[in-house]
Amino acid sequence: MQHKTLDPGPQQVATPTAFVLFGATGDLARRMVLPAFYDLFCRGLTPKEWVLIGNGRGDVAHEDFRDHVHKSLVEFGPGEDKIDQGQWAEFSKRLRFAGGGFDEDDPGSLLDVINEAAGGLGEERQFVHYLAIPPSAFGSIASGLAAHDLLQGSKVVFEKPYGESLESFGELDQLVHSLMDEDQVFRIDHFLGKEATQNLHMLRFGNAMINNNWSADAVAQVQIDAPETLDVAQRAAFYDATGAFKDMIVTHLFQVAAEVAMEPPASMAAEDLQTARESVLGQFRPLDSSEVVLGQFDGYTEIDKIADDSTTDTLAAVRLWVDTDRWRGVPFLLRSGKRMAGDHELVSLIMKEPKGPLGDLPDTAARLEISLKGKGGIGVALILKHPGPGLTVSEQRIDLSLADVDPGEGLDPYVALLHDVLIGDRSLFTSSDGLAHAWRVADSLLKNPPRPISYQPGSWGPEEATELTGGLGWVTQRNEQAG
């Protein structure tokens, strides 16, 4: 098999680095960020000299924080049997914790711990501040970093959602830009860090037979579907203040839609990819509430920390229109929800039925599917003759798991994005302008959302969400029924 290298791939950064992880004992850090740091270290992609300082309100000893990190790796990382004791010993000795919180008026113990832990990194050290905290605290921490002289030459990573409305986004964006330059800001979206999302580029631009059909001329509908079987109990307070629409649609799925809909970039360089993705975001039509379905699973308000009268959506489905010559008239269907019947992350390009001698082909839909789940995969559903004496057509599938693609093993999304922060590669991060476009698309809906429709846990959600597909149905459901 022939290979052509377009990019040298992951590389170790020489600059000594002090990572400061705000929200270090929280759920997001435990599930995603801490395992990613460890993976980055095990792959030899951290700088030779580095330290990781966790920050939080509690008074946690360094040794207790190391124990917390180890438990995180056992549960969400490689697992106890696969943690190399030598690597763990080397990794853990670089872990520190600074308690007492942190804000503009009171830095807690962070400055003291930085002086102790990062003092040996030298004058050329850099800081990477990772804000794994609720969005409501972004402004306070950013102001604190400026007040305590921790922003000079630093990179600051913001988790999503970056803002909760067009107005709150604008206020946060103005504050952040008053404190730091745009090239210091990394707004993370782990969907963009997925290997399979990045393969959207290669699949399209590397294969003329696909690229030539990547438009309204051939495509009847685009579906981006991310149902989840998970509950929200572990993060109930955050989720009830956010909901499915803001947690998944405005953030992750709008960005994936832009990856699908963008025009070919001038090159695969970071700035050109970001420009192409965010230019098409500016062409998304503002959502119409008649083309949006919100749902809430039965029993949601019985969860601890959820108000009895909560109207938070646990499912959101939207019909989105992209007003470019390439995609005008093609609906983009986006859906995500909790406590649903399946667990998928699937992009599907459903092809138009060809005109010709076969006539109408009921209950069939030729399509290209890109799974973003796990290592990812590519599927093609084709209309073929069913074996036998008669002329019977049927839908047949061809599937390729990206885990089987030789050579090498891809980086998990958070590992890839952390590495990109270190090397300053912004191609998989959202810019201020791109997020402003996204919040404008959602603005009128957020100001006047439809009331959520109840649905049974373990179902595919309210029938109204399926009706948005115009009779085609959701591909994820179709595949499960066929399988």
Interval 234-280: pLDDT, tens: 778 878 888 999 989 998 899 999 999 999 988 877 788 888 888 99
pLDDT, tens digit only, all 483 positions of the chain: 343 444 545 666 678 899 999 999 988 899 999 999 999 999 999 999 999 999 988 888 999 999 999 999 999 999 988 899 999 999 999 999 999 989 999 999 999 999 998 877 877 788 999 999 888 899 999 999 999 999 988 999 998 888 888 999 999 999 999 999 998 999 988 777 777 777 788 888 889 999 999 999 999 999 999 999 999 877 788 788 889 999 899 988 999 999 999 999 888 777 888 888 889 999 999 999 999 999 999 999 999 889 999 999 999 999 999 999 999 999 999 999 999 999 999 999 999 887 766 666 655 578 899 988 877 888 888 877 777 777 777 777 887 887 776 655 667 888 888 988 988 888 778 888 888 999 999 999 999 999 999 999 999 999 999 999 998 899 998 887 766
Closest CA to 229 of 467, 458, 483: 458
d(CA 441, CA 307): 29
**pLDDT of res. 117:** 87
**pLDDT of res. 35:** 95
Q: Is 86 exposed, middle or buried (0-12, 13-18, 19+ CB in 10 A)?
A: exposed
**pLDDT of res. 136:** 85
Q: Is 28 labelled as part of a ligand binding site? A: yes
Question: Where on the phi/psi map is residue 352: left (φ > 0), alpha (ψ -120 to 50), or beta?
Answer: beta
Closest CA to 452 of 326, 338, 311: 311
Q: Which residues contact 377 (CB under 8 A, 6 or more apart)?
A: 196, 370, 371, 399, 400, 401, 402, 403
Q: Is 307 labelled as part of a ligand binding site? A: no
Q: Is 59 labelled as part of a ligand binding site? A: no
For residue 337, the cross-strand partners are: 227, 315
**Long-range CB contacts (within 8 A, 24+) of 353-356:** 353/220
Q: Is 338 labelled as part of a ligand binding site? A: yes
**pLDDT of res. 361:** 64
Whole-model pTM: value is: 0.87
∠ Cα 305 446 339 (to 5°): 45
Selecting among 62, 68, 70, 252, the annotated active-site residue is 252
Q: Which domains does the chain have, with CATH numbers?
A: 17-159 (3.40.50.720), 195-413+427-482 (3.30.360.10)
Q: Is 27 labelled as part of a ligand binding site? A: yes
d(CA 54, CA 69): 10
CA 138 to chain centre: 18
Closest CA to 331 of 242, 458, 436, 224: 224
Q: Is 373 labelled as part of a ligand binding site? A: no
**Active-site residue flag, 68:** no
**pLDDT of res. 10:** 60
**pLDDT of res. 430:** 82
C-alpha distances in angstroms, 434 versus 195, 224, 337? 21, 19, 24
Question: Where on the phi/psi map is residue 261: left (φ > 0), alpha (ψ -120 to 50), or beta?
Answer: alpha
CA torsion sign, 111 to 116 to 121 to 122?
Answer: positive
CA 350 to chain centre: 23
